[in-house]
Structure 1
Amino acid sequence: MNDTRDYAGLFLGDIPLLDVRAPVEFAKGAFPTASNLPLLDDDERHRVGIRYKQQGQQAAIDLGNELVSGRKKSARLDAWRAWHRAHPDGYLYCFRGGLRSRTTQAWLDLAGVHVPLVVGGYKAMRRFLLDRLKHNLRHLPVVVLSGRTGCGKTRLIERLTDAIDLEGMAHHRGSAFGRRPAGQPSQIDFENRLAIALLKHQHRGPAPVVVEDEGKLIGRCYVPDDLQARIRQSPRVVIDEPLEARVQVTLEDYVTGPLDEYSRHYGEAQAFERLAEALLAALDRIRKRLGGARHQYLRGELEAALDQQRHGGDVERHRVWIRELLSGYYDPMYDYMLQRRDGPILYQGSRAQVMEYLSHRG
């Protein structure tokens, strides 16, 4: 394979990418199919950078070769070769497609392995994604999926082929209770995921993209201004579910369902207590908006429900605080938000009816 500038092809094809930048660079922003196996670690990169500023490129190259030699060089070559065996169709890159990626490629070539480069590196790919994101957010047709908290918007989004799961990309459920184990991606990673998803949607054809009705932030991930504008102005489809059905969905999504995720992240022994801490902390974060008396009542009910669940596994008591939180706090917030939306309502019905409508719209 030859070196490439076909950035669209890389992202549309989910091509594996070998990122040889330092870990600190990778943590700030990367691509979903990228693996970070750096040529220089953070300390080595810092030292080489200082040498470059003080003495120029050749002196920096000499220091880099000195720092990465012997067993250290062999270990990095072994890691790159193992990556190539697992991803023979992959490409490698550094920040600008310059010295680090070409050095990595040259060392691999000497070892009998050829991995092609992404010309322009991370910087060029990121610029491509930002340009396509801006274009697609302004020109792709959008349908907004609305509905009160607990109506199951995300469940429906996950079943639609023409939908973009913003909360999934942000690794957050989109409310004060939305934090998940392992935290959220960086803002750059969130934007990259969104840009790639929209690029794939545009490539598939002209159908409108369905997005969930979101505000400015999903946790700490900022929704791009152009997308916020489209959400406010685009036509919408509204899920209308009765309160008790929404209580059930909320119970499943925030109390019983997350236990598996918490078990995978913290271990089974700690899962319940970690989830309990997270629920109580989420309620405390909205104390001011709830008001002191309501917060105290809800916290008491949540603590009682957690205690009942802890000692017998019974989750029914959770319905009390969930019901009050939905009807007394989230529903008025949703009604206010809906008044600030300009797009016409195309259809309104139960989640099953909305699924049927969106699945067969022409």
Structure 2
Amino acid sequence: MAGALSDFRQIFLNGVPMMDVRAPVEFAQGAFPGVVNLPLMDDGERQQVGTCYKHRGQDAAIALGHQLVSGATKQARVAAWAQFAQAHPGGVLYCFRGGLRSQIVQQWLKSEAGIDYPRVQGGYKALRGFLINTLEAASVQCGFVVLSGLTGTGKTEVIAQLAHGLDLEGHANHRGSSFGHRVSGQPSQIDFENRLAIDLFQKCNQGHRAFVLEDEGRHVGSCSVPLALRQRLEQAPIVCLDDGFEARVERILQDYVVQQCADFVAAFGEAEGADLFAARLLDSLDKLAKRLGGDRHRVLRATMVAALVRQKDHADFALHRDWIAALVRDYYDPMYAYQRRQRADRIVFQGDRQAVLDYLRASAFTAGAAGGRAA
């Protein structure tokens, strides 16, 4: 029978297909990108077995588990595991600690379907521990540069063009501002950390030892930047990306309004999607009410409402430029200017998109930033 694998490096480097046999509630708390959840027990069965274990011990709990997962239920689950194994002959399976549940699935696959399929030694807990250690070690050993710039300069687009860029917003599925929520929602904190760690690990294996990340706060939406990484970024050199005011307003319009509305419409249909988008946009502005002050918030909200009405009645997004321009000019730009003054001693370069890309791609930066400062 296939044994247990413990080469976590190769699992993540090669993108090995993984079958997670934990219960759905465990899977929802944290998993790895692309992993398929095909549980041995569903949530209700797991709860019953856990209660039995607590009151009657392991043997009784195991017996109950075999009773609950038997007959047609067992056949259906074995068939699903076999289908995954046949579709992914180079894959692996795991449970939480690589113990009884994954061993049972492994045994049933062999006895019921004639398939030898390896399990991960130590299970999800070991894989997760490997990624945590990877992230913490890289946060100490690698070099980092923070890409900053006024709202709407296209920092995320620059990160995407860099082989050594780490896209925090992409991993968090959030645009990183009060208006940054995506219709598809955010991953759990654990999923966010796992995605980031895998990306970092794979790029390190490609030879990168210095990375560029967008200027974020402690959180990207509901996802918290891991502490060790955040502490490094708070000391890292800063590169500032420049762009003109009108270009920034246009980029914000396209990303936060036109595209966001299209995403809502695609997810919920024309009428409901447009209404949900409008509610989300207004709610995002309302969350800034205290910082904006009552009068300014009321004016911006009225402008936004007028733009939403025009958009709904005439499919015209042009009026949105009015509240975007006012919000950027009177709120986001002054806030950025203050933050820039506070960190002026860390700024090592400033320029337009091409100049910044050239600087960040330079061999001097790639080789020299490992010490924590761009060459």
Settle same-fold status: TM greater than 0.5.
Answer: yes
Distance 1:191 1:174 in 2: 16
Q: Deviations over 1:37-90 (max 9, x none)?
A: 100111101111111122222211110010011111111111111111221111
Instruction: Give the deviation of 1:342 after TM superposition.
Output: 6.9
Does 2:30 align with 1:29?
Answer: yes
Instruction: Give the deviation of 1:337 after TM superposition.
Output: 2.1
Distance 1:342 1:100 in 2: 55
4+ runs of 1 displaced by more than 6 Å? none
Instruction: Give the deviation of 1:297 after TM superposition.
Output: 0.3
Kindly tell me the number of residue pairs found equivalent between the two proteins.
362
Larger CA deviation: 22-31 vs 156-165: 156-165
Larger CA deviation: 170-179 vs 82-91: 82-91
Distance 2:308 2:290 in 1: 23
Distance 1:120 1:276 in 2: 47
Corresponding residue number in structure 2 for 1:299: 301
- The alignment partner of 2:148 has SS state of strand
Whether the 8 Å contact between 1:15 and 1:33 is mirrored in structure 2 is no
Which amino acid in structure 2 is aligned with residue 109 of structure 1? K
Corresponding residue number in structure 1 for 2:8: 7
Provide the TM-score with structure 2 as the length reference: 0.93
Counterparts in 2 of 1:265-280, with a 5 A limit?
Answer: 265-280=267-282
Does 2:347 align with 1:354?
Answer: no
Instruction: Give the deviation of 1:293 after TM superposition.
Output: 0.3
- The alignment partner of 1:211 has SS state of strand
Distance 1:361 1:354 in 2: 14
The verdict on how the C-alpha distance between 1:160 and 1:343 changes in structure 2, with shifts beyond 3 A counting, is farther
Whether the 8 Å contact between 2:164 and 2:203 is mirrored in structure 1 is yes
* Partner of residue 134 from structure 1, selected from 133, 136, 143: 136
Q: Deviations over 1:285-340 (max 9, x none)?
A: 11111000000000011011111111112211111100010011011111222234
Instruction: Give the deviation of 1:151 after TM superposition.
Output: 0.5
- The alignment partner of 2:4 has SS state of coil
Distance 1:339 1:77 in 2: 62
Provide the TM-score with structure 1 as the length reference: 0.96
Corresponding residue number in structure 2 for 1:179: 181
Whether the 8 Å contact between 2:164 and 2:208 is mirrored in structure 1 is no
Corresponding residue number in structure 2 for 1:79: 80
Whether the 8 Å contact between 1:236 and 1:343 is mirrored in structure 2 is no
Listed as ranges, the gaps of 5+ residues in structure 2 are 365-375
Distance 1:133 1:116 in 2: 26
- The alignment partner of 1:215 has SS state of coil
Q: Deviations over 1:75-131 (max 9, x none)?
A: 111111111122111100000000000000000001111210000001111111111
Instruction: Give the deviation of 1:29 after TM superposition.
Output: 0.7
Does 2:242 align with 1:240?
Answer: yes
Instruction: Give the deviation of 1:343 after TM superposition.
Output: 6.1
Counterparts in 2 of 1:63-212, with a 5 A limit?
Answer: 63-110=64-111, 111-212=113-214
Distance 2:195 2:344 in 1: 27
- The alignment partner of 2:212 has SS state of strand
Corresponding residue number in structure 2 for 1:333: 335
Whether the 8 Å contact between 2:146 and 2:214 is mirrored in structure 1 is yes
Which amino acid in structure 2 is aligned with residue 16 of structure 1? P
Whether the 8 Å contact between 2:5 and 2:118 is mirrored in structure 1 is yes
Which amino acid in structure 2 is aligned with residue 88 of structure 1? P
Instruction: Give the deviation of 1:155 after TM superposition.
Output: 1.2
Q: Deviations over 1:185-212 (max 9, x none)?
A: 1111111111111111211114411100
Listed as ranges, the gaps of 5+ residues in structure 1 are none
The verdict on how the C-alpha distance between 1:18 and 1:343 changes in structure 2, with shifts beyond 3 A counting, is farther
Corresponding residue number in structure 1 for 2:316: 314
Which amino acid in structure 2 is aligned with residue 44 of structure 1? E
What CA RMSD, in Å, does the superposition of the two structures yield over aligned residues?
Answer: 1.4
Whether the 8 Å contact between 2:97 and 2:124 is mirrored in structure 1 is yes
Whether the 8 Å contact between 1:171 and 1:180 is mirrored in structure 2 is yes
Whether the 8 Å contact between 1:232 and 1:340 is mirrored in structure 2 is no
Q: Deviations over 1:218-252 (max 9, x none)?
A: 11111112222222211121101121111011001
Instruction: Give the deviation of 1:264 after TM superposition.
Output: 3.2
Question: Taking every aligned residue pair, what percent have the same amino acid on both sides?
Answer: 50
- The alignment partner of 1:233 has SS state of coil
Distance 1:343 1:191 in 2: 30
Q: Deviations over 1:233-275 (max 9, x none)?
A: 1112110112111101100110111233223322344222221
Corresponding residue number in structure 1 for 2:372: none
